[in-house]
Each structure stands twice: as structure tokens, then as C-alpha cells.
Amino acid sequence: MSLPFCCPACHGDLVESSTSLDCGQCRRHFETTGQVTYFIPHSRDNVVESHQHSTSLLRTIGKTLLPPHHSVYFDSLRSSHGEGNELTEFLQQHQDDTVLNIGSLSLTLRHVHPHIINLDIAEYPNIDVVADAHALPFKNGSIDIVLLKNVIEHVRNPAVVMSEIHRVLKPGGYLYAKIPFLQPFHAVPDHFQGFTPSGIDELTKAFKRLQFGVSVGPGSMLSWMLREYLAILCSCGSMKAYRLGLIVFGWLTFWIKYSDLFFRGNLLSGRLASAFYGLYMKA
């Protein structure tokens, strides 16, 4: 699939060579290696290493000991580690569109949609483009759908990212966003903010809202918070003890997430939601 690239610095056209894309306007060069194009330096690859290192203890203990995921989708009570019903159904209805998936640790949706472009700041598995969401390397109005799932809390300047998304979307294009509200600190590689519904409205004010709701509910929020609370309380400041505590208390608290069954249909659930989702259109 030919990607609608442009220079992320000046938005100039790029000329392809055997090993790079070259901007004829500002003379910048961007490396291409195999199936991946790099628009930021390779030094950012330490993000991958730091994330893998942070989970090395868990990997040595073995996946069979890991507790179930601490959160479930509000509408289905299935693990939020996968994809929600509303996103899967939406993508199935737009199979011919070009979809830009920003971040989300490079999770791939190619089993649902054939035209996914995976972008992240480091070369995680399944990545097509290594770039910064603050300066997207795509032409104006060239993308049909942008996915921003579990990402906006990790960017330094959300307003700039949203402006870039608005720029690269076609008129009438869609933005699907999953945005956190009440969640523990989770740095991959950093964690800057969460958003209330009012904050989300401000963040997405350049778009027309089509759908909005709770993605991950109060029960999942409490399960995750208690797991972290107890792991930190019993760690005595030791990172190894903390990581072990996440496993132990993960098994003791994971079941609380299923209390979300009793919050569905409750109009006040958003006051303690872990995350919201929204579907938006560029007018």
C-alpha cells in the first residue's frame, strides 16, 4: 500500500530512494528499512527497551502466573486488553478506507481491517511508521479514519496532536478516540494527564461528535486502583516487591471489574469511569 507521506517538518513532498525519503523543500532525509519508515531518530528506540525491561520480572515468572486483565469494556464485560465492540463494528463498516492507528503500543487491527497504518514513537512489533504524533508525516486531508486509543494521556501537548489529526483527516473523515479519566500512573514512556468529559469536549472541539460513552467503567477503575494501592503499600519502596505485588494483588482484586455489570445503564457511571470513548467527524 502506497502511503500518503509528506515531510513532517514543512509538509513538502518526499522523493523515494532505495534507503530513504528525501524532502525537496527543506532537504531533510528520512530512513526506510524494510517495511518501516523512520521520521524521528533511532535513539527513540530506547522506549521499546525500557518498556520490555519494565516487564522482564513478570516474564521470568511466566505468563501462566499473571492475573487476568484488570479492566473490561463497559458494554460487553470482555477484557479491555482487546478491542471494543463499537470500534470493531465501525471498522468492519469502512473496509475500503485508509486507517491511521496512532500509538496503543502498536496493537494491530489488521484482522479486522486490511488498510491499517500503525504509527508509534518506537519500533514496536507491527509498526509501519516511526514518528511523533505532534508532527504527523502525512499529507493534508489524506487519511479517512484516525484511531487514537489509549494514547492521548502519553503525549506532551494534546492540543497539537489533535490539530495534526484534524489536518491529515479528509473532510468527512472520522476520529475514534479512547481517552482515560481515572487511571493509575502508567508511563510508556511517560504519562501526562487524564480527561473529564468536559475536558474531552474541549479537546475535540474542532470535530463533530457522533457518539460518546463510557468505555471502561467504575468497577474496572476500582480493580486497577486497588491493585496498585496494595502493591505500593506492601512494597516498602522496592520496585521488585511492587511488581510482585501487582501479580499477587492482581489475582485478589481482578474480580471487582465485573461489578461494572451493575453500573451499566446508570447515568452517573461516568463520574467514576476509567475511560471514555468517542466517535467524531471532521466537518
pLDDT at 139 over 90: yes
pLDDT at 60: 53
What mean pLDDT comes out for the span 124-149? 94
- Of the two residues 212 and 83, the one the predictor is more confident about is 212
3-state secondary structure of 16: strand
**Contacts of residue 65, Cβ cutoff 8 Å, sequence gap at least 6:** 247
pLDDT at 254: 95
Q: Give domain 14-281's CATH number out of 3.30.1050.10, 1.10.1200.10, 3.30.1600.10, 3.40.50.150.
A: 3.40.50.150
Instruction: Give me the residue spans of the domains in the chain.
Output: 14-281
Q: Is the dihedral of CA 121, 165, 169, 75 positive or negative?
A: positive
Q: 68: which DSSP letter?
A: P
- Of the two residues 38 and 52, the one the predictor is more confident about is 38
Q: Which residues pair with 21 in a beta bridge?
A: 16, 30
What mean pLDDT comes out for the span 233-259? 95
What mean pLDDT comes out for the span 168-195? 94
pLDDT at 55 over 50: no
pLDDT at 47 over 60: no
pLDDT at 79 over 70: yes
**Contacts of residue 230, Cβ cutoff 8 Å, sequence gap at least 6:** 245, 249, 252, 253
Q: How, if at all, do strands 116-120 and 129-130 pair?
A: parallel
Average pLDDT, the chain: 89
pLDDT at 187: 86
Q: How far apart are CA 15 and CA 171, in angstroms?
A: 26
Question: Whose CA is closest to 152, among 4, 275, 28?
Answer: 275
Percent of the chain's residues with pLDDT above 70: 90
